[in-house]
Amino acid sequence: SQQGEEDPQALSIQEGENATMNCSYKTSINNLQWYRQNSGRGLVHLILIRSNEREKHSGRLRVTLDTSKKSSSLLITASRAADTASYFCATVLNYGGSQGNLIFGKGTKLSVKP
């Protein structure tokens, strides 16, 4: 039951540029989380934004949440080659059989060229 869908599927930018990834979802959520995965490795948690929050920052990361549009965006400012990875949004539902479980999108593959 795929809930989140990231856009774009792939993004290629130059070092120093900003990278924006979007996530859309279908049903009411408790929170939305962003994770990073370096090739073939485990996922690393980046940010959690709750349904009553609109924006959160962590270092060079900025996440927004628009519950009326059921969408979120992840902005990475001043990107570095080390930011090259896949980025996943994951939603946590408030109800139903999957209540409280993470439901992942398919990810955005970011490539930052030196």
The single-letter code of the amino acid at 68 is S
At 81, give phi and psi (nearest 5°).
-55, -35
Rounded Cα–Cα distance for residues 108 and 13 (Å): 13
Q: Which of 107, 108, 109, 112 binds another protein (CB under 8 A)?
A: 107
Q: Which of 23, 73, 76, 88 binds another protein (CB under 8 A)?
A: 88
Q: Does 58 bind another protein (CB under 8 A)?
A: no
What is the CA angle 24-29-34, rounded to 5? 55
Q: Does 31 bind another protein (CB under 8 A)?
A: yes
Q: Which of 23, 102, 110, 112 binds another protein (CB under 8 A)?
A: 102
**Cβ atoms of 9 and 89 closer than 8 Å:** no
With CB under 8 A as the rule, give the number of residues binding another protein: 26
Rule CB under 8 A: which residues touch another protein?
Answer: 1-2, 30-31, 33, 35, 40-45, 48, 88, 90, 92, 98-107
